[in-house]
Amino acid sequence: MKQQLTIFFLFLSFLTLAQTETDWKKNAFTFTPEILVGLTMEANDGFPETKLQKQAVLNFGRYHNHNPQEWAQLLKGPKTGLSIGITDFGNLDSLGIAITAMPFIEFKAFGSERWKILTGMGASYFTKKFNEETNPQNQAVTTDITWAFRMYLYYQFLSTKNIDWRTGLGYSHHSNGHTRLLNQGYNSFLVSLSADIKSPLSRSIADTANILPNYKRTVYDYYAMRGGLGQNVFALAFNDKKNVYTIAGEYGRVYNNTFKIGIGFYYRFYQHYYDYIEGNESLVQSGREFDYFKSDPWYYATNLGVSIHGEIFLNHFGIDLQLGYNLHKPAYKMEWRINEGWDNTPREIPQSWVLGELDGSYKKKHRISSRLGLKYYLIGMEQAPKNNFYIGAHLNANLGQADFTELSFGYVHSFNFR
């Protein structure tokens, strides 16, 4: 429930993005109906047969070409908004439909007005999910609510006074952020046809550019601290959600109140790891591979790493990306052993059971972490506040494979401009 409420709050907040008291918004609203068709990729062996995937999407957005705020001018007038869509994955009996709500941002591409790149992240509700008895072949989704992500490239092939016609190609993904197994997720590749319908309130704004502010280049340093509460599951035999606790910090620079880059650290404690060790489960019992974990369960249930952090500010909102390197995450080897061997590894694992091999894929996922999400700042970053607070919702991963879903609260302190 925490994840759904967090994402819902971000949706509502995103609709108020970069509000001002000027008239530019009256000209900027756009409504874009979109139809998409494509392929639903197989999520597992024996996946149900599918026909053509079909989507219908309504995009409610606003162009920021004449938004006087600094971030809008530096990003060359992007479009932001909310997409509401419905998806038929090509097999209603086994896969059902998904209803998606997703904030998005759209940028110009290749320096052209005709090419656009759109990316969005939100949530989907599914009418069908995995069930061991009634729907065993669909291992893509096991929860009613999942994360949703899309990235598309559009080409405007015809423009009229009131409508821009576009075609597009892109990728869509749904997964539950490792909050329940099985979690193979849906991966889809689709083509799109859309009509970007301009606001009926639109009027000539040719002179507006003359009153846009001329911003000076600014650079300032910052440091930030955050605490996070996440949730994930451990394995099929331990398929209840437990907490992941995070403390993190970073130091870096903000450029023009819009772009942030920093370096930092993170410390995490995994309740599932700790309980597995404390419970003297199979792989930590005497004589087994990880019996030494019992010497210090807390130590072996923790994760310590360093990170590079990037963010784009849209005044009150931040689009957030972090790449990390794990210096210490010993229990991930135990998790890999359990989940990457034979299917349906039981709680009591026989000595003869084939466990996951510590191959090249393990080595990369063990070391490389990622974090993607949205933040909402109490004070708009346009004001370059000295002290600020934020809340965020993020999906954390091991080199692209979901690790846990997280709600975080953070503090940012900014230094003087340079």
Instruction: Enter the tokens of residue 165.
Output: 């016609």
Residues 347-394: tens digit of each pLDDT: 999 998 989 999 999 999 999 999 999 999 999 998 889 999 999 999
**Separation between Cα atoms, residue 287 and residue 59, nearest integer Å:** 58
Eight-class DSSP state of 347 = S
CA-CA distances (angstroms) from residue 337 to 4, 185, 220, 228? 31, 21, 46, 27
CA R_g for the chain: 23
Terminal alpha carbon distance of the chain: 44
How open is the CA angle 103-104-107, to the nearest 5 degrees? 165
Residues 29-72: tens digit of each pLDDT: 889 999 999 999 998 888 999 999 999 999 999 888 888 888 98
CATH topology of domain 219-417: Porin (2.40.160)
CATH topology of domain 2-210: Porin (2.40.160)
Residues in Cβ contact with 413 at an 8 Å cutoff, skipping those fewer than 6 apart = 222, 223, 224, 386, 387
**Separation between Cα atoms, residue 177 and residue 147, nearest integer Å:** 7
Classify residue 278 by burial, with Cβ atoms within 10 Å: 0-12, 13-18, 19+. Answer: middle
pLDDT string in tens for the chain (418-residue length): 444 444 544 554 454 444 444 556 666 788 999 999 999 999 888 899 999 999 999 999 988 888 888 898 889 889 999 999 999 999 999 999 999 999 999 999 988 889 999 999 999 999 999 988 899 898 888 999 999 999 999 999 999 888 999 999 999 999 888 888 888 889 999 999 999 998 765 544 544 445 677 888 899 999 999 999 999 999 989 989 999 999 999 999 999 999 999 999 999 999 999 999 999 999 999 999 999 999 999 999 999 999 999 999 999 999 999 999 999 999 999 999 999 888 888 999 999 898 999 999 999 999 999 999 999 999 999 888 999 999 999 999 998 788 999 999 999 999 976 5
181 by DSSP, 3-state: which? coil
Domain positions in the chain are 2-210, 219-417
**Separation between Cα atoms, residue 249 and residue 242, nearest integer Å:** 23
**Tokens 């998409």 label which residue?**
36
